[in-house]
Amino acid sequence: MNVIYPLAVPKGRRLCCEVCEAPAERVCRACTVTYYCGVIHQRADWGSIHEKICQLLIPLRTSMPFYNSEEERQHGLQQLQQRQKHLIEFCYTVAQKYLFEGKHEDAVPAALHSLRFRMNVHGLSSVELVPAYLLLAEASLGLGRIVQAEEYLSQAKWTVLKSTECSYATHSLLHRNLGLLYMAKENYEEARYHLANDIYFASCAFGTEHIRTSGGYFHLANIFFGLKKLDLADTLYTKVSEIWNNYLNDHYQVLSQARIQQIDLLGKRFETDTGLDEAQEAEAIQILTSILNIRESTSDKAPQKTVFVLKILVMLYHQMMNSSKAQEYATRAFNLAKEQQLSVQEQNAVQDLLNLISAEEAHPVT
Amino acid sequence: MTTLPPLPMARPKLTALARQKLPCSSRDIPRSQLIKEKDDIDHYLEVNFKGLSKEEVAAYRNSYKKNICVDMLRDGYHKSFTELFSLMEKWDALREAARVRSLLWVQRPLEEQPDKLDHFYYYLTRAEAAERKEYFEDVYNNLYALACYFNNSEDKWVRNHFYERCLKIAQLIKIDGGKKEAEAHAHMGLLFEEEGQLLEAAEHYEAFHQLTQGRIWQDETGHFLNLLACESLLRTYRLLSDKMLENKEYKQAIRILIKASEIAKEGNDKKMEGEACYYLGLAHLAAGEHETALTVLNTYIKISTDLDDDLSLGRGYEATAKVLQSQGQMTEAIKYLKKVVKIARNNFQSLDFVRASTMLGDIYNEKGYYNKASEYFQQAFDMTAEMVNTLLTDETKVHYGIAKAHQMMLTVSNYIETADLTSLDCLLSWKERRSDIAPDPIIGESRRSTMEGLCQTSEHSEDLNGFPDNQKK
């Protein structure tokens, strides 16, 4: 039975819902430490994140086992810390991934989890909480609740202001979300200001040609596109594509080098990976797909750019081991190149890519 | 920087505000103008509160360079931002390196130089706007302006960076037939020449020369670009050949100088052609090829006579004399050197005069005409007495003394050989008084002059060690 009776709990102990903090009526049978106020919230949480972290929550929410010696107690404490940190990161990544995939509803419980764990570990007014607040703000924006997003963002801003050593990356993220907020409120001046700040901080933190900076460029480009300044938007989109192209190319080179070396030792092939975590992959897909859509709408004037973006997508999917999509994009690129009669070089390059993908698919990686 | 008037730029809002916050600016703007409304909240604040607006806060809180960067990005100039950012990083890296080497880092940090940042903003944004519209000429002009602005001693690397960019852009400009490209090559050549990398400099200057061949372009000061190209190319070749001569790579040096003289001939400037011939002759001399040296130097002399240039004529004669001397043709050499001496005297070229006289004296000395030798050395010495160069004076003194000594050699050795009372008397009195030795009637009149010469020598050459003793022995 999943139902519990609030009156039956020991005196003073309040069981609150995971999602909404109302008095809890249900419990998760699998882990018995997570409580919900109703079926809806239970289903939402399960679909969002609870399925993945169900068992991981148990050691965190029950009391510590009895240890015999001080060392063991210390060790136990450390393990607890480790688990919490791991959960923080994991929830954060999952929430980000949902956001980039556009599933804002699902992102909320995950983000809340991340926030709560951060509060547990770091305290209420630490800078570490800021990324979680920003996630929640973004999710609220995606759901259309602007006021709530503003609240979260003000909280984040206040925390950043009060803290003394906030990293550039956090500043960059804060400004990016502020930019998104103002975009939603259609205050494009402010949005541009904040995104400019975002790019500046991201460049300080990572460099101007890093994939983390590319998000800032992308959003700025969106603003210009919305303001109908198409040439500005165009240059920015090109920059974003180039950043991703360079990253994927370099990564591919590194991988093939490693593969050449390793193939002698082990005789089996390495699986390709992108070197990104899931959230970043999702971000890449989102950015590149939207650029592709925009390019396709203006495809007559500059087919090379569309082909360029398609090639990047092919490489991305190939490295993500999603060969069907890779194939699809490769064929699209090839057809487009043929139709628009691009230079022979371009056509050959696309052809090579297509062959590579087909070859990979024929001999699947172990 | 300070010579250029302040730019009448339409500064973006943020930097305008920030500019006023900087301690170095001293303008007053009424408060109401500073507070701008964007949001309703801002408007409300402006109406009801006399506090800071959001932008004022930003202007106070951020560093000036951050304001510039943000302004650039806001208007979408991301390429300017990338370039400025990388330049700032390099600036910091240089500072770090200098700090590590614990040298005095003379350059002030960028923070304290808002003018430079403003210039960056102004020109880089305009260059980017032009680039988007593909007006490469505009891009080039803006980048060139930036390069000129940074043409001071501490910002040379910034200037060099912009010269390189100018070159890349110039190579895209086809409309003006390559003039900008030629200019860009010239700048790059200058860059490399300053750093001492002569080979690259020569490459760029060659490109410059090729592009300007046959065109009558002029630069801002009115000089023909073609002439400039020839000059720079010759200069670089000469420097290169100097280095090679030092390393005794004669063949290469001669090859380069032959190239240089060909270019000079094409350039239709007699003076340059002459110069090229002169250096070629010197190189041949250093390599030991006397015949070729002679022919080349003859051309030089002809050109100089055509141009009526006495100084170069003198140089040419001198060089020819040197060649002849090493060949062993002394009489010819003497003829040329006499010409040099005359020219030098006419033109008040004391150094040349001294040098030529010394060479003449040397030749006579070797051949045994000590009188003539000491005569010329005396001339040289008198000339150096007017000059301040003590080293030269000492040198000529020594030469003079040696010549005088040779002159007296015969007389004194005769005295010693005869070894009779009168001779010894003469010698002793000379030794005591260092004045005239009474001439021995046997030897004759000629000795009187030599004795006078002895006295003079003894006055002049006090630092000649061991001379009287040697003679005594």
Task: Dig out the tokens for A267 from the structure.
Answer: 């005789």
Model confidence at B25, pLDDT cuts 50, 70, 90, reads very low
CB atoms within 10 A of CB A31: 16
The Cβ-side half-sphere exposure at B371, using a 13 Å CA radius, reads 7
- A interface test, pick of B14, B78, B90 with most A CB neighbours within 10 Å: B78
Q: Given A189, A190, A203, which is nearest B85 (Cβ)?
A: A203
Q: Which residue in B has a C-alpha nearest to residue A224's C-alpha?
A: B76
- Contact predicate B363/B330, CB 8 Å: yes
Distance of residue A200 Cα from the nearest chain B Cα, in angstroms: 7
End-to-end CA distance of chain B: 74
- Segment among A53-67, A224-238, B112-126 with least mean pLDDT: B112-126
Predicted confidence at residue B128, as pLDDT, reads 84
- What percentage of chain A exceeds 90 in pLDDT? 4
Collect all residues of chain A within an 8 Å Cβ-Cβ radius of residue B69.
196, 200
**CA B5 to each of CA A300, B9, B25, B126, B149: distance values in angstroms, whole numbers, following the listed order:** 48, 11, 15, 19, 11
Predicted confidence at residue B37, as pLDDT, reads 42
Q: Which residue in A has a C-alpha nearest to residue B66's C-alpha?
A: A200
**Residue of higher predicted confidence among A64 and B107:** A64
Distance of residue B125 Cα from the nearest chain A Cα, in angstroms: 13
Q: How far is Cα of residue B86 from the mean position of the Cα atoms in its chain?
A: 33
Give residue-wise pLDDT tens across range B60-74: 777 777 888 888 888
Taking Cα atoms as reference points, which of A185, A197, A110 lies closest to residue A146?
A185
Model confidence at B103, pLDDT cuts 50, 70, 90, reads low
Q: What is the 3-state secondary structure (H, E, C) of B193-244?
A: HHHCCHHHHHHHHHHHHHHHCCCCCECCCCCEHHHHHHHHHHHHHHHHHHHH
**Whether pLDDT at B455 is above 80:** no
**B30 Cβ partners below 8 Å, 6+ apart?**
none
**B244 Cβ partners below 8 Å, 6+ apart?**
B250, B252, B253, B256
**Whether pLDDT at A200 is above 80:** yes
> CB-based contact (8 Å) between B90 and chain A?
no
CA A98-A104-A109 angle, 5° bins: 80
A341: left (phi over 0), alpha (psi -120 to 50) or beta: left
Collect all residues of chain B within an 8 Å Cβ-Cβ radius of residue A209.
82
Model confidence at A74, pLDDT cuts 50, 70, 90, reads very high
Q: Can you list the alpha helix ranges (DSSP code H) found in chain A? A: 39-45, 51-61, 70-101, 104-122, 129-143, 146-162, 168-184, 188-206, 211-226, 230-266, 278-297, 303-319, 323-340, 344-362
Asked if B78 lies within 8 A of A187 by C-beta distance, the reply is no
Question: Phi, psi (5° rounding) for residue A214?
Answer: -65, -30
Collect all residues of chain B within an 8 Å Cβ-Cβ radius of residue A190.
38-39
Predicted confidence at residue A288, as pLDDT, reads 86
Total count of residues recorded for chain B: 473
Predicted confidence at residue B220, as pLDDT, reads 64
Distance of residue B126 Cα from the nearest chain A Cα, in angstroms: 14
Q: Which long-range contacts (CB under 8 A, 24 or more apart) does B277-284 make?
A: B277/B303, B278/B312, B278/B315, B278/B316, B278/B319, B279/B238, B279/B241, B280/B254, B281/B319, B281/B323, B282/B319, B283/B241, B283/B245, B283/B250, B283/B253, B283/B254, B283/B257, B284/B254
Q: Given A190, A217, A231, which is nearest B78 (Cβ)?
A: A217
- B interface test, pick of A146, A203, A225 with most B CB neighbours within 10 Å: A203
Q: What is the rounded distance in angstroms from the CA atom of residue A40 to the CA atom of residue A118?
A: 26
> CB-based contact (8 Å) between B76 and chain A?
yes
DSSP 8-class letter at B352: H
- Mean model confidence pLDDT for chain B: 72
Asked if B70 lies within 8 A of A235 by C-beta distance, the reply is no
- B interface test, pick of A195, A197, A228 with most B CB neighbours within 10 Å: A197
**B471 Cβ partners below 8 Å, 6+ apart?**
B408, B409, B412, B413, B416
Q: What is the rounded distance in angstroms from the CA atom of residue B157 to the CA atom of residue B118?
A: 18
CB atoms within 10 A of CB A169: 15
Helix (H) or strand (E) holding A36: strand A35-36
- A interface test, pick of B43, B69, B73 with most A CB neighbours within 10 Å: B73
Q: What is the rounded distance in angstroms from the CA atom of residue A273 to the CA atom of residue A256?
A: 11
Buried/exposed A236-248: b ≥16 CB within 10 Å, e otherwise: bbbbbbebbbebb
Asked if A236 lies within 8 A of B82 by C-beta distance, the reply is no
Question: Are β-strands A35-36 and A26-27 bridged in parallel, bridged antiparallel, or unpaired?
Answer: antiparallel
Average pLDDT over residues B107-126: 76
Model confidence at B120, pLDDT cuts 50, 70, 90, reads confident
Predicted confidence at residue A263, as pLDDT, reads 60
Q: What is the rounded distance in angstroms from the CA atom of residue A275 to the CA atom of residue A202?
A: 19
Q: Given B72, B74, B82, which is nearest A193 (Cβ)?
A: B74
- Please classify residue B410 by burial: count the beta carbons closer than 10 Å to its beta carbon, then call 0-12 exposed, 13-18 middle and 19+ buried: middle
- Contact predicate B298/B304, CB 8 Å: no
Buried/exposed B339-375: b ≥16 CB within 10 Å, e otherwise: bbbebbbeeebbebbbbbbbbbbbbbbeeebbebbbb
Helix (H) or strand (E) holding A49: none
Average pLDDT over residues B66-87: 84
Task: Dig out the tokens for A142 from the structure.
Answer: 């995606």
Taking Cα atoms as reference points, which of B73, B71, B75 lies closest to residue B63?
B71
Question: Phi, psi (5° rounding) for residue A26?
Answer: -125, 160
> CB-based contact (8 Å) between B61 and chain A?
no
Task: Dig out the tokens for A170 from the structure.
Answer: 């956090």
Q: Given A189, A200, A231, which is nearest B73 (Cβ)?
A: A200
Q: What is the rounded distance in angstroms from the CA atom of residue B264 to the CA atom of residue B299?
A: 13
Interface A:B, Cβ pairs < 8 A: 48
Q: What is the rounded distance in angstroms from the CA atom of residue B360 to the CA atom of residue B366?
A: 10
Residues of A with CB under 8 A from a CB of B: 187, 189-190, 192-193, 195-197, 199-200, 203, 208-209, 217, 220, 224, 229, 231-232, 235-236, 239
Q: What is the rounded distance in angstroms from the CA atom of residue B47 to the CA atom of residue B227?
A: 68
Give residue-wise pLDDT tens across range A303-352: 778 888 888 888 888 877 777 888 888 888 888 777 777 677 777 777 77
Asked if A196 lies within 8 A of B71 by C-beta distance, the reply is yes
Task: Dig out the tokens for A361 from the structure.
Answer: 């698919």
Give residue-wise pLDDT tens across range B136-160: 888 888 888 888 887 776 677 778 8
- Please classify residue A319 by burial: count the beta carbons closer than 10 Å to its beta carbon, then call 0-12 exposed, 13-18 middle and 19+ buried: buried
Q: Given B38, B70, B79, which is nearest A200 (Cβ)?
A: B70
Q: Given A189, A196, A220, which is nearest B38 (Cβ)?
A: A189
- Segment among A137-146, A219-228, B161-170 with least mean pLDDT: B161-170
Q: What is the rounded distance in angstroms from the CA atom of residue B206 to the CA atom of residue B212?
A: 10
Q: What is the rounded distance in angstroms from the CA atom of residue A94 to the CA atom of residue A50?
A: 11
Helix (H) or strand (E) holding A33: none
Average pLDDT over residues A122-128: 84
Q: Given A190, A199, A200, which is nearest B38 (Cβ)?
A: A190
**CA B331 to each of CA A106, A362, B222, B367: distance values in angstroms, whole numbers, following the listed order:** 107, 94, 49, 10
Residue with tokens 């500043």: A171
Put simply, the chain B residues between 302 and 361 with a CB less than 8 A from any chain A CB are none
- Segment among A17-26, B105-114, B202-211 with least mean pLDDT: B105-114
Distance of residue A208 Cα from the nearest chain B Cα, in angstroms: 6
**Residue of higher predicted confidence among B4 and B311:** B311
Task: Dig out the tokens for B347 from the structure.
Answer: 């033109």
Average pLDDT over residues A218-236: 86
Collect all residues of chain B within an 8 Å Cβ-Cβ radius of residue A197.
70
